Amino acid sequence: MWQRWRERFIEKTIAASGMFSIIVVILIFLFLLKEGLALFRTVPMTDFLGGDRWYPISEPPRFGVLPLILGSCVVTLGAIVLAVPVSIASALFISEIAAGWAKDALKTGIELLAAIPSVVLGFLGMAVLAPWIKYLFQLPTGLTALTGSIILALMAMPTIVSITEDALAAVPRGYREAALALGATRWQMMSRVLLPAARPGILAAVMLGIGRVIGETMAVMMVTGNAAVIPRSVLQPVRTMTATIAAEMGEAVRGSDHYFALFAIGIVLFAISFLLNAAADLFLHQERH
Amino acid sequence: MVSEAPAAVTMAAQQWSVWYGTVQALKSVTLDIRSREILGVIGPANSGKTSFLRSLNRMNDMNPAFRYEGKIALDRQDIYRELDGQTVRRRVGIVFALPLPLPMSIRENILYGPRLRGERNRARLEELVERSLKAASLWEEVRDRLDSSAMKLSGGQQQRLCIARTLAMEPDVVLFDEPCSGLDPISTAKVEETMVQLKAHYTLVLVTNNTKQAARVSDRVAFFLMGELIELGSTEVMFTAPRDRRTNDYITGRFG
Amino acid sequence: MARPAWQRALGVQRVAFVLLFLSTLLIVIPAVAIIGTITVRGMGAVSWEFLTTMPTKGMRAGGIFPAIVGTLELVSLTVVFALPIGIATAIYLTEYATDNWLTRLVRLAIVNLSGVPSVVYGLFGLGLFVMFLGFGTSLLAGALTLAIMILPVIITASEEALRSVPKSFREISLSLGASHWQTVRHAVLPFAIPGIMTGTILGIGRAAGETAPILFTVAAFYLPRLPDSIFDQAMALPYHLYVISTQIPNIPASQRYGTAFVLLVLVLSLNLAAVILRARFRRRRQW
């Protein structure tokens, strides 16, 4: 009898733990809303979303988030343009061409890249990459959107490669054999049969790569120069949403408009990541059916 | 298991029907299982014989699509309405088709059931190991290596270990689900021999694809076809003068 | 197929394969170069003294002892919070949950947690643990924040480990008269432990390297002593590297490379441990 009760208690606890994740997501959302929406008591939402000036500590302060959103977009777009072709190509190479020892070595190399902490990448970006960029393009500073894009591309690549690899592996063997039996070369089989068949998975990989990049904070903050202006070129400093939160939260007075504005940026980020993940999940499920 | 063996019990199914989702696996089966007999259950694939066996100790409960009608009694108690699944499974043990020891030592495999039932007495547990292994005719082969992994035993030994593991729960009824389908002829002979010995103390139900095996060990045989019980009778009658033509066809190998 | 066309197709294939190979190198070479650079330039800076003494002269000299201790304490505390809930959630999903809307909601939540940007976790930790619950900037607030961040990693790995335990084990256990919970506890969980540990170590590696979630929840800019309790602030390796790279001019490069090296070694060895554990487990597995 005692045993029955004990088990029932354990099972109830387990079920409650299962609900924990839902509660946390709701809590994150609520806390971002609670602190972020407080901004709009004094600042109209149009000034926040449409404003092109981010001067949080001038008098009067301006909380236009547009330059930050555009900053994030430019850096992310650059990173994705750099990362996607390379990642899909190497996923193809690793899953279809490389074999045995070489395959393991390449996979390990990519896993290593994924394991490097972002602050270490940011540090090397500052110490090594930025001076190169500065010299190469004869710029006043090497801390630019491009520098950020390159570092972020390195961070996105392992994600995209591994999910694309999974998608390729999930293509039934019969597809490959049928294509080869019809006299296609292996490359024709890969480009005309394999890639189209794996498309939903690859799209999911790209979505998750974008999610990884747009939410990345430390490396970006360290290498993009942090100028909150609307970017006109990839060779100028920009400032992303994540970097703004990380850089300014330390100084923002708790309970001030500045503090609330940083949480409002958090809402924007949370919404973007939510949409990206939902989209990726949709693609992955579509693939399964 | 000698002197203190429990008086073996009977089971009975009354108009027992089973569905998995919309598919009906058993159609109103009525059948009794007598004390200290071996009831052989034969029939072709999808005849419902395994569904029937798994109904007898509520192993279907885990399948969310499982639905039933009718009644199965264990010593007059309705096992689906008056008893809970765990109690039923403690009293009605099962030996599966494939020899599947858990990846633990031989001793731990045997003691898995008794320990979870709450038995803590060392001496009694030791005695149980020996008694169960002896009853399953495995004791002489493994007595020196009770702590080595059960995965190292041969297929036939593993299956007898599974029998010993079931006996260690001290059940009233033991179900066998094609227990020799993965075994070579010599191991099969050993397992069959074990079953016949067990009859002295237990009520046994044997589902088998092998009609000759049913003929060798059963006291009575039930023939299932497409979810229905076609015929039930003593082994001798079933194999020499079955009443139903389909039984005859199956036994003489015309289908199945 | 006509011979010239086939020849041309083969030529195209050769070019394509070379390009695929070069693309792969484009990922692997930077990885090796990054680790190589940090190792070569950082190893020289690391000494027993560097690892075991307090920073001095406004962090321009001395060691990184408090940052190492801070990170170790932080990740230990993180695991204490994340592991029980992570395993329980995985058990719920694999052993108890039926396919209904609630289960789908739990899965959706986990997918989304894994995608939330780390700095947003930082904001959340600040809002809930530091301010609302009044823990202040402290090890406790940081560890709770990191625990929530690595929860999806632990849940996903544990779920996979539990699912890889054969269904037959569960059937056998139930057939031997075990209850549902006894089956999970004795016939499933023991065989999933190696997989769960692998996932946990990967989660620890992630927590040890993250900076953004601890920026506003735990990190002390400069605290040349060890934390007194879990309610105290602490230094941490990744934050320390950030600080000395960006906030403090005229630091000898060796201080930065040394710190980066120690952080990298910590994180990579955790990953390596996970890989080895997984390989050994696969080799030893008996089913």
Domains in chain C: ranges and CATH? 58-284 (1.10.3720.10)
Cβ contact B220:B37 at 8 Å: yes
Give the closest-approach CA distance of B55 to chain C in angstroms: 12
CB contact under 8 A, B112 and C186: yes
Per-residue pLDDT reduced to its tens digit, C42-56: 998 898 989 988 888
Neighbours of C265 (CB within 10 A): 16
Q: pLDDT at residue C135 above 60? A: yes
Place of tokens 């597995």: C285
Residue ranges for chain A with pLDDT beneath 70: 1, 287-289
Residue C127 pLDDT: 92
Residues 6+ apart with CB under 8 A from A262: A244, A245, A248, A249, A252, C123
**Does B93 contact chain C (CB < 8 Å)?**
yes
Is residue C203 within 8 A of residue C150, CB to CB? The reply is yes
Q: Where are the domains of chain B?
A: 11-251
The C-alpha of C112 sits at a distance from chain A's nearest C-alpha, in angstroms, of 6
Residues of A whose CB is below 8 A from C149: none
The subunits that touch chain A, with at least 3 C-beta pairs less than 8 Å apart, are C
Q: What pLDDT score was predicted for residue C223?
A: 77
Asked if C193 has any chain B CB less than 8 Å from its own CB, the reply is no
Across the interface, whether the CB atoms of A21 and C110 are under 8 A apart is answered yes
CA distance C125 to chain A (A): 9
Question: For every residue of chain C, which 3-state class applies, written as one string?
Answer: CCHHHHHHHHHHHHHHHHHHHHHHHHHHHHHHHHHHHHHHHHHCCCCHHHHHCCEECCCCEECCHHHHHHHHHHHHHHHHHHHHHHHHHHHHHHHHCCCCHHHHHHHHHHHHHHHCCHHHHHHHHHHHHHHHCCCCCCHHHHHHHHHHHHHHHHHHHHHHHHHCCCHHHHHHHHHCCCCHHHHHHHHHHHHHHHHHHHHHHHHHHHHHHCCHHHHCCCECCCCCCCCCCCCCCECCHHHHHHHHHHCCCCCCHHHHHHHHHHHHHHHHHHHHHHHHHHHHHHHHCCC
CATH code for the domain defined by B11-251? 3.40.50.300
**C1 pLDDT above the threshold of 80:** no
DSSP state letter for B243: S
Residue C171 has its nearest CB partner, among B59, B117, B166, at: B59
Nearest to A119 among C111, C123, C238 (CB): C238
Confidence (pLDDT) at B5 = 45
Residue C2: per-residue pLDDT: 59
pLDDT value of residue C283? 81
pLDDT at residue number B125: 94
Compute the distance between CA of residue B180 and CA of residue B191 in angstroms, rounded to an integer: 7
Tens-place pLDDT, residues B166-212: 999 999 999 999 999 888 898 899 889 989 999 988 999 999 988 99
Q: Give the minimum alpha-carbon distance from C130 to chain A in angstroms, rounded to a whole number.
A: 11
User: Which is nearest to A233 in space by CA: A140, A162, A171?
Assistant: A140
> What pLDDT does residue C103 have?
92
Among candidates C173, C182, C286 on the partner chain, residue whose Cβ is nearest the Cβ of B151? C286
Which tens digit of pLDDT belongs to each residue from C54-84?
A: 888 777 788 899 999 999 999 999 999 999 9
Q: Which residues of C touch B64 (CB under 8 A)?
A: 98
Q: Does B152 lie at the interface with C, CB-CB under 8 angstroms?
A: no
When scoring B53, B74, B102, B169 by the number of chain C Cβ atoms within 10 A, the one with the most, hence best to mutate, is B102
pLDDT over threshold 80, residue C246: yes
- Give C170→chain B minimum CA distance, Å: 10
- Determine, for residues C176 and B166 on separate chains, whether the beta-carbon distance falls below 8 Å: yes
Q: What average pLDDT score do residues B95-117 get? A: 92
Which residues of A fall within a CB distance of 8 Å from C242?
119, 122-123, 218, 222
Give the model confidence (pLDDT) of B30-89 as tens digits. 999 999 999 999 999 889 999 999 999 999 988 889 999 999 999 989 999 999 999 999
Amino acid A289: pLDDT: 45
Q: What is the mean pLDDT of residues C11-34?
A: 93
**Closest CA–CA distance from residue A289 to any residue of chain C (Å):** 17
| pLDDT average, residue stretch C233-240 | 92
In this prediction, residue B183 carries a pLDDT of: 85
- SS3 label, residue B77: strand
Q: Which residues contact A5 (CB under 8 A, 6 or more apart)?
A: none
Domains and CATH numbers, chain A: 47-288 (1.10.3720.10)
Interface mutation vs chain C, best among B50, B59, B112, most C CBs within 10 Å = B112
Predicted local confidence at residue C54, as pLDDT: 86
Looking at residue C56, its pLDDT comes to: 81
pLDDT > 90 in chain C, percent: 70
Taking the Cβ of residue A29 and every Cβ of chain C, the question of whether any pair is shorter than 8 Å is answered with no
